[in-house]
Amino acid sequence: MEHPLAAPHGRFESIVQKLRDNGHKITPQRLAIVKILAKSDGHPSVETIHTQIKKDFPTMSLATVYRSIVLIKSLGEVLELGFPDGSNRYDGNKPFPHPHVICVRCKKIVDTVPDSLDDMKKEVALETDFKILNHRLDFFGICSTCRERKA
């Protein structure tokens, strides 16, 4: 097993540091969760993270994984994407609001950073006279892998 501290850089270290600064225990199990969250490949669900963790920690329960994620979220180090069917997905790689593109077939979620985002925020604030604090912007579509599979 690759040592959790070996990868990935930046986000992993910041999340661990935040846990430490707030007096939380750094267990190997927790480090394994942080490692997955730091990458957030495809924006995993708690179930996906739990499945990956179980390979190294077979006795770890879904509830424990969930509690760790809630804790990291409370420290502002992970972005939670809630969906009406209750299938929350997580991004610890970019813990701030940003637009997402969601594949309706395989449910993969990827980040997108359109240049027009800042202009859009200004336009919305101007049009509604709101002070914008946050945003949630999802695009739904079919990813290239799923389109190829269909053909």
Regarding 124 and contact with Zn ion (CB under 5 A), the answer is no
Regarding 91 and contact with Zn ion (CB under 5 A), the answer is yes
Comparing CA positions, the residue from 122, 46, 54 lying closest to residue 83 is 46
Q: Contact with Zn ion (CB under 5 A): which of 47, 111, 123, 138?
A: 111
Q: Which is nearer to Zn ion, 26 or 104 (CB)?
A: 104
Q: Contact with Zn ion (CB under 5 A): which of 106, 124, 125, 132?
A: 106
Q: Which is nearer to Zn ion, 54 or 94 (CB)?
A: 94
Structure tokens at 58: 């077979």
Applying CB under 5 A, the span of 9-17, 61-69, 91-99, 112-120 interacting with Zn ion comes to: 91-99
Q: Which is nearer to Zn ion, 9 or 25 (CB)?
A: 9
Long-range contacts made by residues 131-135, C-beta under 8 angstroms, separation at least 24? 134/97, 135/97
Regarding 146 and contact with Zn ion (CB under 5 A), the answer is yes
Regarding 104 and contact with Zn ion (CB under 5 A), the answer is no
Q: Which is nearer to Zn ion, 29 or 78 (CB)?
A: 78
The total of other beta-carbon atoms located within 10 Å of residue 88's CB is: 16
Query: Helix (H, G, I), strand (E, B), or coil: what is residue 131?
Result: coil
Which helix H or strand E contains 109, and what residues bound it? strand 109-111
Regarding 26 and contact with Zn ion (CB under 5 A), the answer is no
CB under 8 Å to 40, separation ≥6 — which residues?
90, 91, 92, 93, 94
Amino acid at 106: C
What residues make contact with Zn ion under the rule CB under 5 A?
91, 94, 103, 105-106, 111, 143, 146
